[in-house]
Amino acid sequence: MISVIVPVYNAGEYLEACIDSVLSQTYGNLELILIDDGSTDGSGELCDAFAERDTRIKVIHRENGGVSRARNMGLDAARGDVIAFLDCDDYILPGMYEAMIDRMDKAKAKIAVCTVIDEQENGDVRRWETGETMLITGRDALRKLVTGMGDRAGHRETIWFSVWNKLYDAGIFKSGVRFDPETDSAEDVPVNLAAFAMADHILYYERPYYFWRYRRESQSNLRAPKALRGGTRTSRYLFDCAKTLGERDRPAAVTAAIRHFYWYYTGGVYALSQAKKWAKEGGAGGAEYSREDYISLRDEMRASLKAIASDPAYRKYTAGSFKAAVWLILHIPALFGAMWLFYRRLKRL
């Protein structure tokens, strides 16, 4: 049986399509666990209505606590032999679970991966579809994930860092693997680092079954200090994992971890520059967070980066261009912020 775990928060117009895509799968031996994470738009009531019509659905209502806590609650409730995740504003194509379970069983793999239909807001769509099936060692997949972080274009090489285009043997989570409850951005990465390390082989099927929408509003949570802080925590996971790789891969892996940190730190710089404006406007990131919140976040991020920069692996393997940026962040943060914001404005002209 497959346990499909879906955190639901204000899913609006997308939730029905998401749920229908699971219930209409040709592989019927599944349970659908919907975790209503404190929705305020009626999504929770819609979950209950679906549960009344299909006994395979289990609904859990909870106060809003973030996607990581919601997924952990789903894992605690799951009864399946295989675990799948799905985001509430995405959907899966017909036949996904049947095709992946069949190949997963034949290969005796603990993890199966499909490719993704990637829809941008402007309507552009990317997809990888050769029908090719490959077996990748867990160690090799972990290496490719760590060295390729931040490069969505390297789809095959990284097999993406997300959990939602994968099926996992439930034993991985029964062993204690969970989402970091303090991380709600790039929260998939630490889970996959642990899962890949436990898998002898991973089945990669180059058929796009997962429909992933890029929505600007879904990215607005990156204005929240918690999300930016979570990205920083994930960078530490990546850095610690990078140090365990072979000598050949460490330069790329360590630099990828620093790049990941840099991306979130600059997000914090931008948020700090916009804090007063957002507070006046309200809305996403608005009055909920003050300028002082972002200053505190910046100081926390710098403290974390200082700890990374003191590690011998950082000094030995980080690319020179990132070392220069890190030096500015640590020693003259105001100058770095001003330079980065100026660069950002130039790029947007």
**Residue 286 or 98, more confident:** 98
pLDDT of 117 reads 87
Compute the average pLDDT of residues 294-306: 94
pLDDT of 158 reads 56
Residue 250 above 80 pLDDT? yes
What b/e readout covers 200-226, taking b as 16+ CB neighbours within 10 angstroms? ebbbbbbbbbbbbeeeeeeeebbbbbb
List, for residues 93-111, the tens digit of each pLDDT value. 999 999 999 999 999 999 9
List, for residues 29-49, the tens digit of each pLDDT value. 999 999 999 999 999 999 999
The domain at 2-214 falls in which architecture? Alpha-Beta Complex (3.90)
Which of the four pLDDT bands, split at 50, 70 and 90, describes residue 220?
very low
Which of the four pLDDT bands, split at 50, 70 and 90, describes residue 219?
very low
Report yes or no: 19 and 99 within 8 Å, Cβ to Cβ: no
Query: Which is nearest to 293 in space by CA: 231, 225, 223, 222?
Result: 225
% of residues, the chain, pLDDT over 90? 72
pLDDT of 179 reads 96
Tokens 């940190």 sit at which residue? 261
Report yes or no: 215 and 89 within 8 Å, Cβ to Cβ: yes
Compute the average pLDDT of residues 111-129: 79
Residue 277 above 70 pLDDT? yes
Which of the four pLDDT bands, split at 50, 70 and 90, describes residue 88?
very high
Residue 243 above 50 pLDDT? yes
Write the CA distances from 48 to 19, 56, 239, 246, 346, integer angstroms.
12, 12, 42, 50, 49
What b/e readout covers 332-343, taking b as 16+ CB neighbours within 10 angstroms? ebeebbeebeee
Query: Which is nearest to 74 in space by CA: 91, 89, 57?
Result: 57
Q: H or E segment at 31?
A: strand 30-37
16, 126, 193, 247: CA torsion to nearest 10: 180
Report yes or no: 344 and 270 within 8 Å, Cβ to Cβ: yes
In this structure, what token pair is assigned to residue 131? Answer: 């029908």
Which of the four pLDDT bands, split at 50, 70 and 90, describes residue 76?
very high
Q: DSSP letter string over 193-243?
A: HHHHHH-SEEEEEEEEEEEEE--GGGGGGGGSHHHHHHHHHHHHHHHHHHT
Domain ranges of the chain: 2-214, 217-348
Q: What is the mean pLDDT of the chain?
A: 90
In this structure, what token pair is assigned to residue 78? Answer: 């799951």
Report yes or no: 295 and 232 within 8 Å, Cβ to Cβ: no
